[in-house]
Each structure stands twice: as structure tokens, then as C-alpha cells.
């Protein structure tokens, strides 16, 4: 017994020692990473590199000690703010875009590009260099005064494509299937479970959506590169950027140089000799400094509430919209007497119809007291549009994916698999419908009827919300609904959004509606601190992102399939969700 007691004491002591060492390690690393005072030297170039995924909002907890343990992300709001500050910063002479892969949606990229275009109005230069330009990278870089490419690099410029995965054969072979009920001619989120190939309706909407987005991209590139839109499409059709010399001959580039030669071009633009040292500052460092500089000031405030991620029932967080954290933010903004108007920034493919309605209701209460304006990001579709529909005014980027006004339900069923492997499930209940559905038994027509009834009720509720919010008839709402998705440009033509523009445009519109001249911006919600997340993760499998570990282990392509299947299995209740998982390449 004494031996076991000593052994147990030794084990506990070791665990405590490791725990103390771990926290000391994190503490010392956090000291090293503590935000130091950032100074910008004269004649500096701002190095625009987006090294991490870009979210609309990363929260109000920047620079906390335990942030290093979590997957990093950059906030679009901070990037745009830094570019605006740099425009007025006399020490910044220009911007160098040196980015080989931007991990962001097209509308996010468009927003950054728009900010860079505004930066150029100061008379300062923008140069861009790439070892390899993917399409989104080139789209952003095309705003530059001069674009350079590595002599052994390439430029991927071929137009947009989309890929949708289909699972019917997989279901037939495994005996694991999804029972689906939907409303909406174009509500094709469930199509991959019903067919092995794309329907013409779905093909039509995806084709038209991508064409609208592509036309917006081509139009902007054409204006900045002085190449006709027709010629740009010819370049895409012939892969005219696949070799550096081809890209230069077609007008996509200004020159083909190595990076050291590119640095000499930057020195020349700044006005120093080749022998002089080029002063540069990274985007990350400049964002630390620019946070302290307010572009808006005033006692009155415009609240910006960020709603990003799938809509799921529950508390929510940085990557998930839940009624818990969202409604707390809405109520705080509503009850704050210094807040004169609310801007809801939506970046969501939708999700739970119930959660969407709960959030919609809280927004309606807030709208009764203060102006409410919506700003749409990369995606504001289905449930994302549901929570937006009641706003006084809606803004979207031209490339925003929106609409998708339709609902569906999916329920996993493993009856065939269970039969094949010899499992039989027996149910006992007290009343006729007390045993309503079993994963192990085929779905009855009666139960399917109940689910269908719920789908139809939710769809009609959705239509009423859209009709009331947009001041149109229910039949008009239905004509642009049926689960059909639209680009921001198309949505404006149809009246689903009011104006094309970004978050700043929405904030200005909110201030105008509130009759406020000078104001500051207050951002919501407040996410849990890195320490709180660390403590939560200690209860799980790892303090590090489990999703990140899976992605690194199985690879990006297989991870995409895994996420598709997991997302379908996780869906609970009636869904107001984007009608497909669309990968635009």
C-alpha cells in the first residue's frame, strides 16, 4: 500500500510539475510576444502580406497571452483600417503587395482591393510582386500601379469554376443515407444525396452566379490594367498567363524580375539609391500601431455587430452564429444610450431556421428603437439573408453570394447498413407517435408528412419575413426565392439588397439614418478570451484545434469531403442554408 501511495503521489506530482512548466512556458512566450511599441520610419513601405485566414472580425481580445496556442486569423476590419491609416501616414510612401495565396473569399478580397484603390488616391504608389499568382491574388494585385512576376513563376488566370460533391452512390454502397425534405426549386443543398449528377436547375443557377461574379472581377481588372473585357476573357480562355512572358505580352504584368530586382524598383519608387536600406514594415506590425488611431470620433456611437459562420442553435463563437452570443450583443447595442444606430455585418451561408428566427426577432426589437443597416460579406445566404431581411437598408458587395430563400430538412438513416450487418432495432412507446423516427428503420410516410408540414410552414414564414422586410408582396418574394442564389449585383437588380458597397458604406448610411454627424464605432460581440478557450479545451482532446490537426493529417482535399459529410450529419432541425457547398477555383 505504501508503494502504491508513493507511486500515486509521484504521478500527481509529475502532472502538477508539467502543468506548472507548461504555464510558465506560455507565460514567458507571451512576454516575448507582448505587443511592443511599433514605430514607422520615414520613407517606409507597407508590406501587405496576408499570411493567415481572413475573418470579418477576430474579436476584441487581441494580444492576449494564450493567443499563440490557437489557429491565427486576421480581421478584415483591422486590415482595412490599417490601409486607411497608411493613406494619411506621411511616413508610408507606398504599399508592396507580396502575397502568394490569400485565404479569403472573393468579396473579402474585393473589399481589400477597394481599400487599396482608395489608398492610390493619395498619390502614393502600390507595387505587387509574386512568385506565383493564383486568381484571387492576381485580382487583388491588379489594382497596383505595377505588377511583377518571378521569371520562373506563373499566373493562374482561367476564369471561375465550381465543384459540387455528390453522394448517392456512396449511400447506395454503404447503406448510410440522408432522408431529405425540401422546399424550393433551386434548394439543391440536398441534391447531392438524391442524385449522382447535377440537375439543370442547379447548373443554371451556379453558372449564372459565377458569371456575375466573374464579370465584376473582369470589369475591375479591365479598368486598372487598361485591357478590354473581351481581351481579358480571351486571355483566360487561352491561358495567356501560364508563362511569365505570355502574361507580360498580354498586359497582365509590367515586368518579369527576381525579388532583389523588385526591391530595387521599390527603392526607386521611394526615392533612394540601390545602396540604401529600404525601410519596410509588415502588415501585422502596422496593424498593431494603427489600432491606436481612430478614424471616427465622437460621443455618439455606431454599433457594428459581426455575425460570421454557420448558424447553429446555442451560444455561438468566432466561427459560429448562435442566438446566445448574438442576442446578447444586440441587446447591449440596443440598450446603450450612446449607440445611435446598429450595423449588422453578415457573413454566413445560413443554418438553423429556428436560430435565425430567434436572432431576427431580437433585431426587430432593436430596429424599433434604432436604425438597423445590414452589410453583407462573402456570403449572406438563406439563414444569413433571413436575419438580414428586416433591416432598414441592406448593402452587399457585387460579388456577395446572397438570396437562397428556401428551407430543407435532412435526417440520417442507416436502415440498409443495419440490415446488412445484422442489426435489428425494436421500439416500444406509450402513444401512437411517441416513437416517431428511428435511424434504424425506414422513414414512414406519416412521419415524412409531419416533417414536410414543418418545412412548408417555415418556408412561408421565411417568405413573410422577406416580403415585410423588403416591402413587397409574398408572391414577389416567392418569385425570387425557391432557394435560388444571387450575386450582390443580381440581388440589387431584384430588390433583395438596396445598395452595392462595403462595411464603411453601411456605417455611413446608418449614421445618416440616425442623423449623426460625428461618431465612433463600437464593435460586437465580445468573444471568450484565449485563456477561457484554453480552459475549455483542457476538457477536450487537445488544447490545439482538433479540426486543424485533422486537416493537416488527411490533406485539404479529403478534409473538404470530411467536412461535407460531417456538416450534413450535424444538421439538426429545419435548415435555412446555402443550397450547395460551392468551391470556386
User: Is pLDDT above 90 for 212?
Assistant: yes
| Geometric angle at alpha carbon 451, from 449 and 457, rounded to 5° | 100
Phi, psi dihedral angles at 72 (to 5 degrees): -80, 150
Domains, the chain = 44-158+239-290 (3.90.226.10), 301-413+439-577 (3.90.226.10)
Residues 6+ apart with CB under 8 A from 443: 179, 411, 413, 437
> Whole-angstrom Cα distance, residue 29 to residue 23?
10
| Displacement of CA 245 from its chain's centroid (Å) | 35
Q: Where do the H-state alpha helices sit in 40-134?
A: 76-88, 106-120
pLDDT tens per residue, range 248-291: 999 999 999 999 999 999 999 999 999 999 999 999 999 998 98
Contact indicator for 310, 519 with CB cutoff of 8 Å: no
User: Is pLDDT above 90 for 164?
Assistant: no
Predicted confidence band at 488 (pLDDT cuts at 50, 70, 90)? very high
The sign of the dihedral angle between the CA atoms of 347, 350, 351, 356 is positive
The sign of the dihedral angle between the CA atoms of 171, 172, 176, 177 is positive
More confident residue, 439 or 229: 229
Neighbours of 326 (CB within 10 A): 25
Where do we find the cell 521599390?
266
Give the model's pLDDT for residue 478. 93
Give the model's pLDDT for residue 9. 62
Over range 442-467, report the average pLDDT. Answer: 90
pLDDT tens per residue, range 51-65: 889 999 987 555 555
Q: pLDDT over 70 for what percent of the chain?
A: 81
Closest CA to 472 of 366, 406, 404, 389: 389
Grouping H, G, I as helix, E, B as strand and the rest as coil, residue 202 is helix
The sign of the dihedral angle between the CA atoms of 261, 267, 268, 273 is negative
Predicted confidence band at 34 (pLDDT cuts at 50, 70, 90)? very low
Give the model's pLDDT for residue 577. 60
pLDDT tens per residue, range 99-149: 778 989 999 999 999 999 999 999 999 999 999 999 999 999 999 999 999
> Whole-angstrom Cα distance, residue 521 to residue 504?
11
Over range 361-388, report the average pLDDT. Answer: 97
Closest CA to 351 of 516, 187, 571, 520: 571
Residue 513, phi-psi category: left (phi > 0), alpha (psi -120 to 50), beta (remainder): alpha
What integer best gives the mean pLDDT of the chain?
Answer: 85
Catalytic residues: 187, 382
pLDDT tens per residue, range 513-549: 999 999 999 999 988 665 555 555 554 444 445 555 5
Amino acid at each position: 500500500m505504501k508503494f502504491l501511495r508513493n507511486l500515486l503521489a509521484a504521478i500527481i506530482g509529475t502532472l502538477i510539475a508539467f502543468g506548472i512548466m507548461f504555464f510558465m512556458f506560455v507565460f514567458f512566450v507571451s512576454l516575448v510576444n507582448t505587443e511592443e511599441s511599433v514605430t514607422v520610419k520615414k520613407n517606409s513601405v507597407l508590406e501587405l502580406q496576408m499570411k493567415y485566414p481572413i475573418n470579418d472580425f477576430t474579436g476584441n481580445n487581441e494580444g492576449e497571452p494564450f493567443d499563440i496556442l490557437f489557429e491565427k486569423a486576421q480581421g478584415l476590419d483591422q486590415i482595412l483600417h490599417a490601409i486607411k491609416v497608411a493613406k494619411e501616414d506621411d511616413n508610408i510612401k507606398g504599399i508592396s503587395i507580396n502575397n502568394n495565396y490569400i485565404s479569403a473569399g472573393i468579396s473579402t478580397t474585393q473589399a481589400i482591393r477597394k481599400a487599396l484603390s482608395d489608398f492610390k488616391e493619395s498619390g502614393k504608389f502600390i507595387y505587387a510582386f509574386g512568385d506565383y499568382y493564383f486568381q484571387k491574388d492576381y485580382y487583388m494585385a491588379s489594382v497596383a500601379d505595377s505588377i511583377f512576376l518571378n521569371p520562373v513563376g506563373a499566373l493562374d488566370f482561367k476564369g471561375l469554376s465550381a465543384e459540387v460533391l455528390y453522394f448517392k452512390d456512396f449511400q447506395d454502397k454503404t447503406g448510410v443515407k440522408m432522408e431529405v425534405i425540401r422546399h424550393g426549386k433551386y434548394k439543391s443543398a440536398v441534391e447531392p444525396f438524391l442524385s449522382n449528377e447535377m440537375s439543370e436547375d442547379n447548373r443554371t443557377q451556379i453558372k449564372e452566379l459565377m458569371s456575375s461574379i466573374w464579370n465584376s472581377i473582369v470589369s475591375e481588372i479591365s479598368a486598372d490594367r487598361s485591357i478590354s473585357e473581351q481581351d481579358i476573357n480571351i486571355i483566360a480562355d487561352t491561358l495567356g498567363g501560364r508563362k511569365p512572358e505570355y502574361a507580360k505580352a498580354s498586359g497582365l504584368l509590367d515586368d518579369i524580375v527576381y525579388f532583389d530586382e523588385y526591391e530595387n524598383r521599390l527603392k526607386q519608387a521611394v526615392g533612394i539609391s540601390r545602396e540604401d536600406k529600404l525601410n519596410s514594415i509588415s502588415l501585422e506590425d502596422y496593424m498593431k500601431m494603427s489600432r491606436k488611431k481612430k478614424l471616427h470620433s465622437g460621443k455618439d456611437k455606431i454599433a457594428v455587430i459581426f455575425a460570421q459562420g454557420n448558424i447553429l442553435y446555442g451560444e455561438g463563437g468566432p466561427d459560429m452564429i448562435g442566438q446566445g452570443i448574438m442576442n446578447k450583443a444586440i441587446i447591449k447595442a440596443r440598450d446603450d444610450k450612446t449607440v445611435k444606430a446598429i450595423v449588422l455585418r453578415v457573413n454566413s451561408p445560413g443554418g438553423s431556421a429556428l436560430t435565425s428566427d430567434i436572432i431576427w426577432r431580437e433585431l426587430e426589437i432593436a430596429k424599433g428603437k434604432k436604425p438597423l443597416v445590414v452589410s453583407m460579406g462573402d456570403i449572406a445566404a438563406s439563414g444569413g439573408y433571413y436575419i438580414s431581411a428586416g433591416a432598414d437598408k441592406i448593402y452587399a458587395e457585387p460579388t456577395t453570394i446572397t438570396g437562397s430563400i428556401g428551407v430543407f430538412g435532412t435526417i440520417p438513416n442507416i436502415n440498409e447498413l443495419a440490415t446488412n450487418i445484422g442489426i435489428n432495432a425494436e421500439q416500444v412507446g406509450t402513444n401512437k407517435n411517441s416513437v416517431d423516427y428511428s435511424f434504424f428503420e425506414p422513414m414512414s410516410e406519416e412521419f415524412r408528412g409531419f416533417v414536410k408540414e414543418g418545412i412548408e410552414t417555415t418556408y412561408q414564414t421565411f417568405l413573410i419575413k422577406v416580403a415585410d422586410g423588403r416591402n413587397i408582396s409574398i408572391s414577389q418574394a416567392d418569385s425570387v426565392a425557391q432557394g435560388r442564389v444571387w450575386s450582390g449585383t443580381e440581388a440589387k437588380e431584384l430588390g433583395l439588397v438596396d445598395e452595392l458597397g462595403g462595411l464603411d458604406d453601411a456605417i455611413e448610411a446608418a449614421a445618416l439614418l440616425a442623423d449623426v454627424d460625428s461618431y465612433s464605432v463600437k464593435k460586437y460581440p465580445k468573444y471568450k478570451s484565449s485563456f477561457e478557450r484554453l480552459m475549455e479545451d483542457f476538457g477536450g482532446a487537445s488544447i490545439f484545434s482538433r479540426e486543424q490537426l485533422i486537416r493537416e493529417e488527411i490533406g485539404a482535399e479529403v478534409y473538404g469531403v470530411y467536412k461535407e459529410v460531417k456538416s450534413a450529419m450535424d444538421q439538426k432541425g429545419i435548415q435555412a442554408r446555402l443550397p450547395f457547398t460551392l468551391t470556386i477555383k
